[in-house]
Chains A and B, each alone.
Chain A
Amino acid sequence: MIRYLPLLLANVTRKKARLLLTVGSYAVALFLFGLLSAVDAAFSQGVEVAGADRLIVRNRVSLIMPLPISYRDRMLALPGVRTVTFATWFGGIYQEERNFFPNFAVDPDRYLETYPEFLVDPGQWADFLKDREACAVGQKLAQRFGWKVGDRIPLKGTIWPGVWEFNLRVIYRGSRPEDDEGQFWFRYDYLEERRPWGKGTVGWYIVRVTDPDRAAAVARAIDERFANSSYETAAETEKAFAAGFVRQMGNIQALILAIGSVVFFTLLLVTGNVMAITVRERLAEIGVLKTLGFSDGAVLGLLLLESCLYAAVGAALGLLGAKAFTLAGDPTGGLLVAFYVSWGRLGAGFLLALAVGLAAGLFPGLAAMRLKIVDALRRV
């Protein structure tokens, strides 16, 4: 095998422009693949990071309707419930409306332990617990506005009027790259103290169950517990809750699949065409190779290898480029929660490219394999 390598390399590098363009086509297509993967991940991000042992409990009528704070203790009394924490959407605006980021009041005692994927410096968190006007923000959000611990951040209230000022005490990080580092939390007791209406209610509860396998049963038990009360609940696993939102965005996955297949089909045509031209140009050479005693299989193998080499090099370039691009940040300026492509997806892309390379080389390769020496040499 290895002794064919110089021949292979000589063939590949013979036409520089063609090498560049073919590798470039692969690189572009796989770059796009990486990009679409990242977009897909951004939209389904909530689903992937959802904790299996967490339930979201909201008002049955509507997500924007509140639930009474008294439900916390009543849910804790239910079997299978480990901890209960809660949050309330604040909807504040920082400077101008287009600077949107999610901001909500959280239960300072138990919120963090419910979301162990968020990493927080214990000293910072102690400061958060000491300061009623404290807030915690994700690292990405802090970077976006250049905030540092100790800064005073004003948010203009939309649900509750006035300007609310917070002291930045904590910058949290996500333990996984797909974790949302763009949130803004502040203390529920501060909200409760200042808001003129809505006192004694929370936006939604997050319930941790003792056994993830029984999550659905616990959710049902919660809904039954509050059925026919004036605040009926809708409890579901965090995954189902997040998936519901993704579905609402419309059929992103179908769109991505459609674009992806168009691109790969075109790529197959382009490289197939290049390989066909290559074989046509080298008819005489192939005849010579066969005369020298190269078997039909070796001729086919060489061509397939050549085709796959283009694919491998181009794919590696494109996928690494996509990785670098996504690491550089979200191109929409903060509209996407996470913009990230996993190594698993990159690997899948690489294999896909190799498959395209194989398919593109197959037909010209088979033609070359079947070629009779006489026919090949007659053309010289």
Chain B
Amino acid sequence: MAVPLVYNLRSIKVRWASTSVAVLGIAGAVAVFVAVLSLARGFELTLVESGSPRNALVRRAGASAEMESVVTLEQVRIIADAPGVARDRSGRPLVSAEVVAIGPFRHRASASEALAQVRGVSEEALRIRDNLRVSEGRFLRPGLAELVVGKNAAVLYEGFSLGESPRFGGRTWKVVGILDASGSAFDSEVWADARVLNQTFKRPEYIFQSVTVRLESPEALPAFEKALKADPRLTVQVDREDRYYAKQSRVVSTLIRVLGYLVAGVMAVGALFAALNTLYSALAARTREVAVLRALGFSPRDVVFSWLFEALVIALLGGLLGDLLVIPLNGLTTSTINWQTFSQIAFAFRVTPELLLRGLLFALAMGLVGGLPPALRAARIPVAAALREL
């Protein structure tokens, strides 16, 4: 017969002071664990959602990022005529040739200069991408020094709100629109007209750095890539857009993960010690209780389960508390530098139910490991000797 669970619950309530120490320790470890995972997840999702499986990103062969690539106007035309490229109703290929640059802008939060990615585009940039729209104002007009600013960039940098006139690259611009890119990396970018940007940065007018192509379907990619590789006029590499962005996220998310796991791991060991200490101390104070239970006829196995249950309840409380602490972080936007593009990228914590569940499992594992040794010791208490202490 099992020891009634109410016994454990009451005992936790009575010893709330020492229990809360173990609960807090576990909660801290769980909170750090889940927070770190949601940070890494948020960063990954921001970049992954920037790309679409239906788009292909074409760069010069060998260039690991857009910034290092060069594509001429002639090459853009050849790419647009390749098989598998989707066309609009009037038969125009859906292809966007783009230029990227980095501008040092005044970062509001740190009150110093931060680097932002500036993308030179044409109207096609919006047409080939899903989830992108101008939420306020209008799109920029070709040939003018106008900017459309991603909604995160508008918050991150001083002077980039709608209607303002920021200066960079030696000229004054006008912000005519705010871009809503549904949380993807484009939300951190500043968009300008490609030719105007090239003039500003003293580059040839018809040189681009990447060509993004809308394909008829994701399956059209291999044929498209083969056609480009076979063309002697091109030396390019082709990536599925979402894979290109996923690859970009790797360095930062690995960094966050490794450091986070390390810190959470060490904190877990600390929490384990707190749990063990609490339970051992509880055991020392409750030796007589255990002996009474045994004298009443509960078997050593019942005692082990009873103690383990208590440990798991403490761990669960800690896990829940830790999860609760992290939930408010969901959606909180922060920014860091993305080493692949050398520019700031804003991203949000994504606290998903799956991560919360992992936090709870982590807590239960701590409870199990921390509860077992005291439980086993409780079961081995010599009944007669313990009762004599009474």
Contact = CB atoms under 8 A, between A and B. Distances in A.
26 contacts: A18-B281, A21-B277, A21-B280, A25-B273, A32-B270, A61-B101, A61-B168, A91-B64, A157-B62, A161-B60, A162-B62, A230-B202, A232-B170, A243-B112, A247-B114, A248-B115, A249-B336, A249-B337, A251-B109, A262-B32, A266-B21, A269-B20, A273-B278, A274-B281, A281-B284, A336-B255
B62 A161 contact: yes
Contacts of B101: 61-62, 64
A159 B266 CA distance: 41
A250 B335 contact: yes
B199 interface: no
Contact of B274 (A18, A25, A277, A336): A25
A356 to B, nearest CB: 13
B62 to A, nearest CB: 5
Given A98-B250, A250-B335, A64 B67 contact: yes
Interface of A: 15, 17-18, 21-22, 24-25, 28-29, 31-32, 35-36, 39, 60-65, 91, 93, 97-98, 100, 156-159, 161-162, 230, 232, 234, 243-245, 247-251, 259, 262-263, 266-267, 269-270, 273-274, 277, 281, 331-332, 335-336
B274 A266 contact: yes
A29 B266 CA distance: 8
Given A230-B202, A277-B281, A263 B336 contact: no
Interface in B37-64: 60-64
Given A60-B104, A62-B101, A332-B259, 4 more contacts: A248-B336, A262-B31, A269-B21, A273-B281
Interface in B80-130: 101-104, 107, 109-110, 112-115
Nearest to B118: A62
Given A28-B269, A93-B64, A18 B280 contact: yes
B251 interface: yes
Contacts of B285: 277
A270 B68 contact: no
A31 B263 CA distance: 10
Contacts of A274: 277, 281
Interface residues of B, number: 63
Given A63-B102, A65-B201, A248-B344, A28 B25 contact: no
Contacts of B255: 332, 335-336
B258 A161 contact: no
Contacts of A158: 62-65, 68
Given A29-B270, A36-B263, A248-B344, A61 B25 contact: no
B28 A263 contact: yes
Contacts of A61: 101, 103-104, 168-170, 201
Contacts of B17: 273
B11 interface: no
A248 B337 contact: yes
B266 A31 contact: yes
Given A100-B251, A161-B61, A244-B112, A24 B337 contact: no
B315 interface: no
B8 interface: no
Given A64-B342, A65-B201, A247-B114, A263 B276 contact: no
